[in-house]
Structure 1
Amino acid sequence: MPYNFHVRQMQENIAKAITTADTMSPDDIQARLDELQNELIRKANSKQDYDAIADEIFTLREQKAQAEADTRNREETQKRIAELQDFIGSQQSEITEFDESLIRKLIQQITVYDDRFTVRLKSGLAIEIES
């Protein structure tokens, strides 16, 4: 197969891996927090019980902090992947022999099991290969 096909396939796989976030965005959480805070004020002013709303607000604040951290991690991962893609794209030919400097730039860890091994790239992507 042509070298460009492999690079394009790798880029598509990487894009899929980093865009599968199924959590609410920090902006969505903030919008829900704003709604709950307004509802909390209304209930407090009318002397209604607002414990459930307060609990949800505290939970959403924690979720927002986690979502923001996840977003930062995802952006950092995307940056590292873009750097790897640029490096791979700058290679002029197929790799036909072992290149230690290339391996050191791409691979973080290889774990060997009895029936398989796992290659973890510096981008965070793990590839499991069965024997």
Structure 2
Amino acid sequence: MEKNIATVLGVAFDKDTAEIESQLVELQEQIVRAANRKEDYDALVNEIFRLREAKQSMQEYNADRQGKRQRIADMTAFLDEQTGEMIEYDDKLVRQLVERVEVLGDKMTVGFKSGLEVELMC
């Protein structure tokens, strides 16, 4: 399970903002040149705003993924601390791991605090 989580939420799959950052620097330089030549630079400004929004979106996406990685690490650490085999319901464990349980007909969905969901047929 940890291997699957690492594959899905690995840092390697976060969105890199370096390309956008270099484009922003280049556009800012173009604006300075256009301003010095007294040329219109409205299109450049609009592109900078678009790229800033895209960069912000990527940063939020990466922060969300980092939050999920942290919750999974916390959950894994908690599970590693548990000793012995579980043979009965443990309220503390359930409250630590499970965010919600939905039952619809013969299907049950367990939503974990890590963001993962598991569907079970009843």
Task: Please give the TM-score of this superposition, normalised by the length of structure 2.
Answer: 0.80
Deviation of 1:60 (Å): 1.1
User: Residue 32 of structure 1 is aligned with which of 20, 23, 26?
Assistant: 23
Q: Aligned equivalents of 2:47 and 2:105: distance in 1?
A: 47
Query: 1:10-89 counterparts in 2 under 5 A?
Result: 10-19=1-10, 24-89=15-80
Corresponding residue SS for 2:5: helix
Which structure has the higher relative contact order (CA within 8 Å, separation 6+)? Answer: 1
Query: What letter matches 1:71 in structure 2?
Result: N
Structure 2 residue ranges without an equivalent (≥5): none
CA distance in 1, matches of 2:70, 2:4: 15
1:42 and 1:81 mapped to 2: Cα distance? 49
> 31-40 or 48-57, which moves further after superposition?
48-57
- Give the distance between the partners of 1:27 and 1:96, measured in 2 at CA: 50
Q: Deviations over 1:47-105 (max 9, x none)?
A: 44433322111011112222223333322222221111111122233323221111111
Q: Which sections of structure 1, spanning at least 5 residues, go unmatched?
A: 1-9
- SS of corresponding position for 1:120: strand
Percentage of identical aligned residues:
38
